[in-house]
Amino acid sequence: MHKRFHKTLFGQVVIALILGIIVGAVWPEFAAKLKPLGDGFIKLIKMIIAPLVFCVVVHGICSTGDLKKVGRVGVKALVYFEIVTTFALALGVLLAYVLQPGVGMNVDPASLDASAMAGYTEKVAQATSTIDFLMKIIPATFIDAFAKGDILQVLLIAILFGCGVAALGERGRPVTAAIDSLAHVFFKVIGFIVKLAPLGVLGAIAFTVGKYGVGSLKQLGMLVVLFYVTCTIFVTVVLGFILRMAGFNIFKLLRYLREELLVVLGTASSDSVLPQVMRKLELMGVKDSTVGLVIPTGYSFNLDGFSIYLTLAAVFIAQATNTPLSMIDLLTILAISLVTSKGAHGVPGSAIVILAATLSAVPAIPAIGLVLVLSVDWFMGMARALTNMIGNCVATVVVGVWEKDIDRKRANQVLNGEITVDLNAPAALDTSEEQARLSTAGPLAVQVEASRA
C-alpha cells in the first residue's frame, strides 16, 4: 500500500517548493535569510560525492574484470557527449537567431556597468585555456583531489586505482570487497541526508523568490522563457528520440526520477542529487561500472543545458547590443562554445565565467553585454541543472544499451511502475535473482516506496 502524498519524499519536496514560493513572495526579507538551508543541504551532498564516485568507479572496473571494456565504454561515452552537445549548442543558436529575443532592447555597451563583471574577469583566463583544463585533471596529490572535491580528478584516480586492483586478480579481491562495502556505507549516509531535501528546497526557492522577485523577469523575460522552451524541446524531442531509439520512453524516465528533478529545480544544482541518480540508474538495471564511468564524466563533458545557455545567451547579447552577426560569427560561437563548455562544472560561478570566456573569444560581440544576463542567471540555472542531469541519465542508459550493460526487462518494469526500487537496498542488485523472485512473488509483493530513502 502506497504512503500518503505528504509522507513521500516527492510530496514533501512539492510542498516545500510551494511553501518556499509563498514565503519568498509574502516575507521577502525573511526568505532571503533562508539561503543557508539550501546551501547547507548541497554542501552535505557534495561532501559525499568524491568518495562515493571513487568507490562506485573502482568497484565497477574491478567487477567488470575487462579493462578493454572499461576503455571502450569511456570512448563511446565521450563520442556520444560530443555529438549530443553539438546538437544542444546548435539548437541554442538556431532558436535565438530565428526568434530574436534580444532585438529591440537597443542597449549601448558603453552604458553598461563594467564593475558588475569585476568578480568574474580573473577567472576567465583559466576557463579559456584548454591546456590548463587538461592539466587540472591531474591532481597535485592523491588526497588533494578528494579535498577539493574535483570530480574529474577523482575519476582519474579511481580509473587508475581500479585498473591497478583489477590487474592484481585474486590478490585484489579483498580490496574490491572492502570498497564495495564502503560504497554501501556512503549510500546509507546519503539516505540520511536526502531526508533533509525538503528543507533544502524550501530555503533555496524562498531565497530566490525573496531576493529577485517576479519583477526581475520582466525586462529579460523573453530570454528566460525562450531558454526554458529550448531546454524542453531538447529534452522531449532530441533526448526523447535518442532514448526511443534505445528502446525506452523519456517521459517514463522523467517520472522515475521525479523526486530528484524537483530537488534540482529547487536548488538549481544537479550536484544535490548525483549520488541518488547513480543509485537509481543501477537499481533500474544499468550495470554499476557503466553508471560509475558515464555519470561523473558527463558532469564535465555532457552539459547539455549549459551548452544551450552559452549559445542562446551569446546571440541574445549580440541582438540586445545591435551587433550584427554573420554566418561566420555564428559558426565561431558554435565552435568556441564546444570547447569552453567542457569542464565548466568545476569552475566557480561557471555559467557567467564560461560565457565571459566564450564572448572574449568572439570579437564581434561586446563582452560587457554579459551584464545583461546577470540578473536572471539564477532562474536560468534551474533549467540548466535539470537539462544537464536528464542528459546524463539518458547518456548512461544509451551507453548501457550499446554495451549490453542494461537489463531491459527490469528497466521496463521499473519505468512502467510495475516494481518500485528501494534506494537503501543493502547490496548491489543481482537482476537475474531479482527477476526470478518477481516471477514467483509478483510485483506487488516487493514494492517499496522509493521515498523511504
pLDDT for 123-168, tens place per residue?
554 554 556 667 777 888 888 888 877 777 887 888 888 888 888 8
Q: Predicted confidence band at 111 (pLDDT cuts at 50, 70, 90)? A: low
Residues 6+ apart with CB under 8 A from 100: 319
Q: What is the pLDDT of residue 234?
A: 95
Express the helix, strand and coil content of the chain in percent, nearest 5 each. 80, 0, 20
* CATH number of residue 377's parent domain: 1.10.3860.10
- Are 271 and 51 contacting, i.e. CB atoms less than 8 angstroms apart? no
Can you read off the three cell numbers belonging to residue 382?
Answer: 534551474
Domain range for 170 is 5-452
- Residues 433-450, mean pLDDT to the nearest whole number: 35
**Which DSSP letter does residue 341 get?**
T
Q: Predicted confidence band at 264 (pLDDT cuts at 50, 70, 90)? A: confident
Q: What is the pLDDT of residue 140?
A: 84
Residues 6+ apart with CB under 8 A from 119: 349
Q: What is the pLDDT of residue 342?
A: 64
Which residue(s) pair with 165 in the sheet? none
Interval 270-302: pLDDT, tens: 777 888 888 899 889 998 888 888 888 787 778
Dihedral of alpha carbons 156, 408, 281, 248, sign: positive
Q: Predicted confidence band at 213 (pLDDT cuts at 50, 70, 90)? A: low
Residue owning grid cell 532571503? 32
- Does position 319 have pLDDT exceeding 80, yes or no? yes
- Residues 86-106, mean pLDDT to the nearest whole number: 83
Count, in order, helices (H) and strands (E) of the chain.
23, 0
- Residue 337 to residue 353: CA distance in whole angstroms: 12
- Are 286 and 415 contacting, i.e. CB atoms less than 8 angstroms apart? no
Q: What is the enclosing helix (H) or strand (E) of 334?
A: helix 327-340
Residue owning grid cell 530513502? 453
* Lowest-pLDDT range of 54-58, 81-85, 90-94: 54-58
Q: What is the pLDDT of residue 432?
A: 40
- Residue 367 to residue 215: CA distance in whole angstroms: 25
- Residue 365 to residue 323: CA distance in whole angstroms: 7
- Does position 427 have pLDDT exceeding 50, yes or no? no
* Lowest-pLDDT range of 31-45, 81-95, 243-257, 356-370: 356-370
CA distances from 402 to 24, 93, 243, 250 (A): 46, 30, 12, 17
- Does position 53 have pLDDT exceeding 60, yes or no? yes
Q: What is the pLDDT of residue 248?
A: 94
- The Cβ of residue 22 has, within 10 Å, a number of other Cβ atoms equal to 14
Radius of gyration in angstroms for the set of CA atoms belonging to the chain, rounded to a whole number? 22
- Residue 158 to residue 50: CA distance in whole angstroms: 10
Distance of alpha carbon 4 from the chain centroid: 29
- Does position 265 have pLDDT exceeding 70, yes or no? yes
- Are 351 and 384 contacting, i.e. CB atoms less than 8 angstroms apart? yes
The count of domains in the chain is: 1
Dihedral of alpha carbons 363, 354, 370, 318, sign: positive
- Residues 10-21, mean pLDDT to the nearest whole number: 79
Most confident of the ranges 203-207, 287-291, 361-365: 287-291
Can you read off the three cell numbers belonging to residue 234?
Answer: 531538447
Residues 6+ apart with CB under 8 A from 134: none
On average, the pLDDT of the chain sits at: 76
Residues 6+ apart with CB under 8 A from 442: none
Q: What is the pLDDT of residue 429?
A: 41
Q: What is the pLDDT of residue 431?
A: 40
